[in-house]
Amino acid sequence: MTSDKDYIQKVIKQFKLITGNKLNSEETINYFNGCMYALILNKTIFKRNDDLPSFIYTLFLKPFNNQQYKDYVYKSRTLLGARVCRHINDDLNYSEVVPLSKAVISYLEENFSLENKKENAQRLNSIADELSGWLKQ
Contact call for residues 111 and 71 (beta carbons, < 8 A): no
pLDDT of 99 above 70: yes
How high is the pLDDT of residue 114?
40
pTM, entire model: 0.76
pLDDT of 117 above 70: no
DSSP letter at 68?
P
The per-residue pLDDT for range 32-85, each reduced to its tens digit, is: 999 999 999 989 888 999 989 999 998 888 888 889 999 999 999 999 999 999
How high is the pLDDT of residue 106?
92
How high is the pLDDT of residue 8?
87
d(CA 73, CA 69): 6
Contact call for residues 83 and 73 (beta carbons, < 8 A): yes
Best CA proximity match to 93, nearest among 49, 7, 32, 34 = 32
